[in-house]
Amino acid sequence: MGIFGALIIRDRNYRKEEEHIITITDYNHDVDSLQSYMKDVHGLYDGRAPFTPSKSIDGTEFDKFQFHSGLINGRGRFYDPETGDHNDSPLEVFNVYRGRFYRFRVIGAGSMLAFRISVDHHSILLVASDGHDLEPVKVESFIINPGESFDFILVANQAVSNYWIRSHNLEIDRNHRTEAILRYCGAPIVEPTTSRMTCSASSRCLVANCPYLLYPPSHYTDCLTFNDMRGAPWNEPPPTFEEFRFEEYFLNFCMIDKHPSSVNGIVFNSPTVSLLLNPRKKFSLVITQLVERTECARAPTELILPMATWSDLSWLQGNLPGLKFERPPLKDTLIVPSGGYAVVRFRADNLGLWLMHCHMEVHHIEGMRLLLNESLPLVPSPPKGFPECRSFL
């Protein structure tokens, strides 16, 4: 919802390759994010009936709102939940030549929902995420959340025809499909009649970037969490502990009694003046521990306290057991499952003020965000007499 577009920054060593861009979004016909937020606060109704939230396959409450359509490059269909018929809107078509390979740059520009993407009769070789190379991994499908991006290589090695590019959000028991068409050059201009790969005991499906660990046994589907993926060997290694240069913060992305959305129980209100000219506080964030639940969680310690720390003190100074330091993937957006956590490290070497926020737009609007005030002492003070922006509020 809102304006979006692809911004592709190419590597210096960019090798020209054929590529397509898939921008995927969720689309609600009735309300935008602000209205969704108001409904969430004051009561969720579909017509006059209270709306029942959907669930994902792991039993988690998934979406409080009615999913209407998903769009690929702005195109998609509305499926009538009663009849299952769609409104015949045109779909995006990606043209390929048989025998060539293509880089698909997939951008999650939605406001709320994750999508699982697959291509009929073709496997997906994931090679990058959020602009950083991954150790390539061949999967049947992958899950993309708002704010994330994934690049995959598709080899056009099937018969000249039309194939569905499929996408489903992670809700169960609801119609939530979003489609586009992969069309080989020379194929008739018709809609595909292909079906999705059947996952079976002898041919299991692998899904990358799952927010849960398992699918039910009957799905014959395995999960590859982002934690299990590896970055490319040429990526920068993760920062390690250095005395006096390593700080650790705990960030609990949570709700305070359903509302408001907050970080460590603090709601971020947008400042009315430039913070660079009016600095308040310095943050140097090295490790985060994020928990998202319906209420502020209390693990591993009381996260609302300003000086939260590990209850096992041997975990201090970066000594967390089980962390993988060998080529962890580089990301700028990460899904933290309900009740889960992520440990993130970065070198504070990019001077400025950076917004860190939940990518669910309704949470972001409400204040589930914070500012990293990075390397503030290095920010030059404005020249003498430089006009100062004051609040107009």
Check residue 24 for interaction with Cu ion (CB under 5 A).
Answer: no
29, two tokens: 């016909």
CB of 261 to Cu ion, least distance (A): 6
378, two tokens: 């290095």
Residue closer to Cu ion (CB basis): 146 or 318 = 146
Distance CA 66, CA 216 (A): 25
CB of 29 to Cu ion, least distance (A): 23
Distance CA 112, CA 35 (A): 13
- Mask 51-80, x = binds Cu ion (CB under 5 A)? ------------------------------
Distance CA 37, CA 359 (A): 14
CB of 275 to Cu ion, least distance (A): 23
CB of 264 to Cu ion, least distance (A): 14
Phi and psi, residue 364, nearest 5°? -60, -45
CB of 73 to Cu ion, least distance (A): 26
Q: How many residues bind Cu ion (CB under 5 A)?
A: 4
Closest among 224, 176, 219 to 201, alpha carbons compared? 219
Residue closer to Cu ion (CB basis): 296 or 368 = 368
Distance CA 107, CA 6 (A): 8
Check residue 165 for interaction with Cu ion (CB under 5 A).
Answer: no
For residue 25, what are the contacts with CB-CB under 8 A and spacing of at least 6?
Answer: 1, 4, 70, 71, 74, 109, 110, 111
Residue closer to Cu ion (CB basis): 165 or 365 = 365
Residue closer to Cu ion (CB basis): 331 or 363 = 363
Residue closer to Cu ion (CB basis): 39 or 363 = 363
Check residue 360 for interaction with Cu ion (CB under 5 A).
Answer: yes
CB of 372 to Cu ion, least distance (A): 18
Residue with tokens 């920068």: 236
Other CB atoms within 10 A of residue 22 CB: 23
Distance CA 21, CA 214 (A): 30
Is residue 22 within a helix (H) or strand (E), and if so which, with residue range?
A: strand 19-27
Residue closer to Cu ion (CB basis): 154 or 368 = 368
Check residue 358 for interaction with Cu ion (CB under 5 A).
Answer: yes
Check residue 296 for interaction with Cu ion (CB under 5 A).
Answer: no
CA angle centred on 227, ends 224 and 231, rounded to 5° = 100
Instruction: Check whether the bond before 300 is cis (ω within 30° of 0).
Output: yes
Binding part of the chain for Cu ion, among 68-76, 282-290, 296-304, 358-366 by CB under 5 A, reads 358-366
* Maximum pairwise Cα distance, the chain: 73
Residue closer to Cu ion (CB basis): 144 or 368 = 368
CB of 34 to Cu ion, least distance (A): 15
CB of 54 to Cu ion, least distance (A): 17
- Mask 362-391, x = binds Cu ion (CB under 5 A)? -x----x-----------------------
User: Where does this chain bind Cu ion (CB under 5 A)?
Assistant: 358, 360, 363, 368
